[in-house]
Chain A
Amino acid sequence: MGHYLLRRLLIALPSLLGISLILFVLLALAPGDPFGELASNPNIPPEVREALRAKFGIDDPIFVRYLHWLAAMLHGDWGFSFASRIDVDRLILQRIPTTLYVVGSSQLLALAVALPVGVYAAMRPYSIFDQIANTFAFIGFSLPTFFTGLLLILIFSVNLGWLPFVYRADIDATGWHWYSEYLKQAIMPIAVLGLFQAASYTRYVRSAVLDVIKLDYVTTARSKGIGERKVIVKHVVRNALIPVVTLVALQMPSVFGGAIVTEQIFRIPGIGSLLISAILANDTPVIMAVTFVFACLVVLFNLIADILYGWLDPRISFR
């Protein structure tokens, strides 16, 4: 297992390098000077501008610039936010727990809905439950998150007035009241993101379970007299989860995309809304850093998926 993990890590590194290369090439190809904002900003003295140009090596050959940039990124020197006037890494560190909290709970919600529904639907294919679940899944993944978010706000905040629609990081309450306020403001974003993912996961789980449930070893397990419940949980679901993990890992980029939209709708102070505001403010270092962080998160979740494979199917880790 340790060996397998190490090999997976070694595979993840080149893809991180590749992502950094793509990011850098984009930045280098972009017309105009990325420091144009600095040059036109009268608040920044010329010697600072010159120092920055020298530090980023604007006049060096492109390959040298890439190595310099990479070294700076690895040192944790991600530059200085033009708009917020603090270091980019501190800005991102402030924002990232909120994003991880929202994305993580929505994924948990998605799996908590999709696994039972998908398995149950596949156990009785073409039953009424299956058809209802399929219809809902179909509607669910055709509804874009920005529309469901607005709909929920319209129903629960504007018409019913039950839930707040602005996410606040500073709630001025203590004890139980604080927890209830915190939960109330997180319900809608998590539901929007989680149910959207749950819709597509349900379809994956259903088709994966359908593939496995007809296999001979399941019939064997049943004929040995093992209870239906145990057959499903230990024999069917564990094997059906392997393709599901692949598909969930492939969904990760769009999960984070959805997180950006949701954060924007509900004004959650995470890195997604940081990205949008940075783009609107032409804050290049922040944009680059946030994009890179998103890429790292995707690679990290792919790595977690690989570890899950090893656990679900021990044969994989010995190959």
Chain B
Amino acid sequence: MILTLLALAILAGPLIWRVPINEIDFTARLSPPSFDHPFGTDDLGQDLLARMLYGGRISLAVGFAAMAVALVAGTIIGAIAGISRGGIDAALMWITDLFLSLPQLPLLLLVIYLFRDFLKGLVGPEGGVFILIVLVIGGFRWMPVARLVRAQFLSLREKEFVEAARALGASNLRLVVRHILPNALGPVIVAGTIDVAAAIIAESTLSFLGLGFPPDIPTWGRLLFDAKDYLDIAPHWALFAGGAIFLTVIAINFIGDGLRDALDPRKVM
């Protein structure tokens, strides 16, 4: 419900609230919420409502895209591990466990530090950072999905309907794609919902540390990063940006929790 409202506001908002995000007005510097600027203004007098609406789009887009990357990568790896026995399975699971024990935030920072300039040169500053952040966040979140898919495969591949399909001469690929995968996807989607929240937090964290999107793209984390130096004179700035992140994350978590209770009361990990 809250999420729908937020998503609607983010998608339709710019059509209604037509203040440009980068209009600088020094006479209205750091002004608290008023009729002209419902969410107040920042240190350059830029309208915060417009910036929040714009940033929300990016934050949500990063969240969903990173979730998609994590789901696809996790499903492929989990499926390969689940259908093949012995060496390949063990090796893939070892890699999964290795990734699970990696310190994610330092590595995220490291990868972004190393590859930022390269991708910027390749596809421009905004697209480059977007692709990089989505790939990297997704690339460090596929492990739970892979474990889940593998566990599903291990139990599903012994079921009678799979035996029957195999007896009819279906190839391994067909077995996986047509018979096992559709049955394994339920809990995966639940895990994916919670991943969206985690990805949004990850993106905001990066931006908050000043290492996410460039300063002229106001994501919610970036707004908080800029706001933290003006906490004493313009608290509204930080409160609105942080509140938006909090509301989005808690709404997504609620949906994920509800889905999990409805579909499968037993563990997701």
Residues in A lying within 8 Å of B, measured CB to CB: 15, 18-19, 22-23, 26-27, 29-32, 138-139, 141-144, 146-147, 150-151, 153-154, 158, 247, 250, 252-254, 256-257, 260-261, 264-265, 275-276, 279-280, 282, 287-288, 290-291, 294-295, 297-299, 302
Partner of A260, one of B106, B204, B245: B106
* Structural contact, B208 and A19, CB atoms closer than 8 A: no
Q: Which of B228, B254, B257, B269 has the most CB of A within 10 A?
A: B228
Contacts of B235 in A (CB 8 A): 154, 158
Contacts of A26 in B (CB 8 A): 107, 110-111, 114
Task: State the main secondary structure of chain A at its contact with B.
Answer: helix
* Structural contact, B110 and A253, CB atoms closer than 8 A: no
* Structural contact, B205 and A295, CB atoms closer than 8 A: no
Distance A299 CA – B99 CA, assembled complex (angstroms):
11
Task: State the main secondary structure of chain B at its contact with A.
Answer: helix
Considering only CB atoms, which chain B residue lies closest to A249 in the complex? B101
Contacts of A139 in B (CB 8 A): 250
Distance A151 CA – B224 CA, assembled complex (angstroms):
11
Distance A287 CA – B221 CA, assembled complex (angstroms):
23
* Structural contact, A256 and B246, CB atoms closer than 8 A: no
By size class, the interface of chain B is: 35 or more
* Structural contact, B114 and A253, CB atoms closer than 8 A: no
Partner of B102, one of A260, A279, A298: A298
Q: Which of A151, A257, A275, A291 has the most CB of B within 10 A?
A: A257
Distance A275 CA – B107 CA, assembled complex (angstroms):
11
Least CB distance from A30 to B in Å reads 4
Least CB distance from A184 to B in Å reads 19
Cβ-based interface call for B17 (8 A) = no
Q: Binary interface profile of B, 95-115, with partner A (CB < 8 Å = 1, else 0)?
A: 101101111111101110111
Distance A247 CA – B100 CA, assembled complex (angstroms):
12
Considering only CB atoms, which chain A residue lies closest to B252 in the complex? A142
Distance A304 CA – B79 CA, assembled complex (angstroms):
32
Between A and B, 14 residue pairs with Cβ closer than 8 Å are: A15-B101, A26-B111, A144-B245, A150-B224, A150-B238, A150-B242, A154-B231, A154-B235, A252-B101, A257-B104, A260-B106, A275-B106, A279-B211, A294-B103
